[in-house]
Structures are given as C-alpha cells and as structure tokens.
Amino acid sequence: MKVLIVDDDPLAMFMTSSMAEMAIPGMAIQTAACAQDAFDLFAADRFDCVLIDYEMPGANGLELASRIHALDPAVPILLCTGAGNETLAADAIKQGVSDYLPKATLSADGLRRAIRDAIDKARQAHLIAAQRKDIEMFAFALAHDFKQPSRQLVTFAELARQEAPVADGSQLDQMLQFISAAAGRLNRLVDGMMEFMLLSAPPPLRPVEVDAIFAGICLALQDFLQERGGVLDLVGSARVMGHEALLGQVLQNIAINGLTYNESALPRVEIACAKVAAGIEIRVCDNGIGIDACDVDRIFEPLVRLNGREAHDGSGIGLTLARRAMAAMQGTIRCEPRPPPDRGTVFVLMLGDAAANSDLAA
C-alpha cells in the first residue's frame, strides 16, 4: 500500500506521517510540501490513497484534489485539515473527496479506518465500473444479434412481395405487412431495452402518445387476443413524458398477464388514462383471477411466482422489469386488488404530463 501525504507544515507532516506508520505498519509513505510537488509525484507514480492538507501555498487542498482526480478519478483522497468547518466538509464530499478528517481529532485508529475504508470503497467502485463495462459490451453484442434477424425479416418480406406480387389487402399481403411491422417493433424494443440496460445513461424522456402505444400493442397481440378470445380496450387518451419502447413493453406485459391469468369466459383488459394532480395516471384493469392484498408488493420482486399460478407460464421477472422501467421514466407503478364482488387486478402507472413539461416537450 502506497500513500501520498501533502502538507506545507513540517510539524503537521511529521505527525500525520507518524500516525500513518503506526496505523498501517509497512505502508509506503511519500510526502510533498506543496500542491505542485504533490501533483508531479502523483503524475509520475501510482498511489493507493492521498492525504491532503487544505491550506497550502499555490493551491488549496480541493484544487489539488480536482487536479489529481483529472489524472485518476478513482483514487481516494482524504482532506486532512485543522482550519475547516462543516461547509468545507460538505464542499469536499461534493467534489469527490472520500473523507474529511479534522486534525484536532486525528488518531492512528481513526486514520487507519479512514484509509482502509477509502481504499475499499475505491476498489468496489472500480469493480462496479468494470462490471458495468462488461454489461454494456454484452448489451451491444446482444442488440446486434437481435437486430440482424429483424432486418432480415424486413428484407425477405419485401423480396417476397417482389417475387410473388400479391393484391393489396389479401391475406398474404396482410401477413407480409405483419412481418415487417413486427420486425420494426422488435428493432424499437431492442433500442429501448439497450438504453435501459446501459445504466450509466438513463433513457431520454420525450412526449409519448398513449393512443399510439395502444395501437402497437393491439397489433402485436392480435393473434394472442384471437387465441384467448380476449378484448383489449382503451379509455381516454393522454400524452405523457416517457419512453415509447419502455412504456409499450410495460403496458404490453401487464396486458398479457391480465389475459393469461384469467378464467373468465371473456378475458378483458382495459387501459384508462386520466389527468390527476401528480401527472397522468394510467390504470390497467383486468377481470382475471386477481392478486391477494398481501401479495401486491411481492409481485414486483424478481422471480416471484404466486401460489396457484403453476398452470400458467411465466418467468417471474416481467413485473420486476416493469417497475425498473417505470423508475427509469421517473414514474411509479403499484398494484391494487379489486375488492369483492369484482375480480381481477388493477395496475396504476403514474407518469409526468407532457403538457406540464412544455420545455422538455418542445
């Protein structure tokens, strides 16, 4: 372990260095008496941690910390000073300093804990950053693999039209249009999920028409609705601040659940939009088998399958992704069981009103 200690006061430098040696025996310590010397040392060598005094000639401790972080954003920096206050401590933390240590209360035990904690946190942050980079690379590769066959579907559907011309409105023409539309939706969904997976960049929020999303869901679930003999209705209209692909996937997953977990003669899912004080409320109601009141929070946990659902397929992660997607759109989602004698479930989605965010909508 190698530590750089920066202080223009020789006595304070000796005291801090001595306590550091007592705190962590065997630790390599280098010292600098001014900001420029410290910066030159850091630029030429690698340090696990840097202890910086605040008041120094040439540049104060926060200015030096900023210059060091420009070379290595991950290195932990401890601000160790006798002239600070709560305001300085708050400013130090805001600027990325790992900890603030008043010289008046400095001890070997306190210094050992501060150094080890700062280094451990920096290593954890480095590990998380590396894992995030791996996830991003995997997401890009996965998106490429998904989008390639979808592009081929569009291409071959068009080639089929050219090879065997069909009359507009015929069954074959409708099938080819459905293939092209489905491939386009798949491309948009992959793009949307890519933005969601890349956690370092939240998805951009734009005005989204719920009516247009509903039309896309109806087209996507056309065969499923016919197979189930189900009905999907939209009541009202709304323009929300959200992400088209993410919101479409959330509403589609909830609609599929409402139609799947349903023993009614006529499965029905209704999507109703209403403007409320907090924004736009989207209520998705079904007449399915319902959810017990004690389970309305559990269903959003990953891999939770409620008792009695074994007869239905499901991964147990759809509603977990729905909650994450709503959070990414700065919205919320909750579940409400319908009281007897009604059956079924209500999912309540809350998003911002695009009309109330005219600056963003523009």
What is the pTM assigned to this prediction?
A: 0.51
- In this structure, the dihedral spanned by the alpha carbons of residues 112, 117, 123 and 125, taken in order and rounded to 10 degrees, is -160
Give the tens place of pLDDT for each residue, 123-151. 888 887 777 777 777 776 777 677 777 77
Strands of 187-288 (E only): list them: 206-209, 231-235, 239-242, 268-276, 279-286
> Which distant-in-sequence residues (6+ apart) come within 8 Å of 144 by Cβ?
none
Between the alpha carbon of residue 294 and those of residues 30, 338, 345, the distances in Å are: 60, 13, 13
Residue 68: count of CB within 10 angstroms of its CB: 23
Give pLDDT, residue 285: 93
Give pLDDT, residue 340: 67
- On the CB side of 336, how many CA atoms lie within 13 Å of its CA? 13
Q: How many residues does the chain have?
A: 362
> Which distant-in-sequence residues (6+ apart) come within 8 Å of 132 by Cβ?
199, 200
Q: Are residues 48 and 2 in contact, defined by beta-carbon separation less than 8 angstroms?
A: yes
Give pLDDT, residue 157: 80
Strands of the chain (E only): list them: 2-6, 28-32, 49-52, 77-81, 99-102, 206-209, 231-235, 239-242, 268-276, 279-286, 332-337, 345-353
Handedness of CA 201, 207, 210, 212 (dihedral sign): negative
Residue (of 286, 295, 226) closest to 251 by Cα position: 286
Low-confidence ranges of the chain (pLDDT < 50): 199, 307-315, 360-362
Give pLDDT, residue 84: 59
Give pLDDT, residue 321: 79
How far apart, in whole angstroms, are the C-alpha atoms of residue 259 and residue 261? 6
Sheet holding 99-102, edge to edge: 28-32, 2-6, 49-52, 77-81, 99-102
Give pLDDT, residue 315: 47
Give pLDDT, residue 305: 55
How far apart, in whole angstroms, are the C-alpha atoms of residue 189 and residue 253? 13
Give pLDDT, residue 338: 73
Longest CA–CA separation in the chain, Å = 93
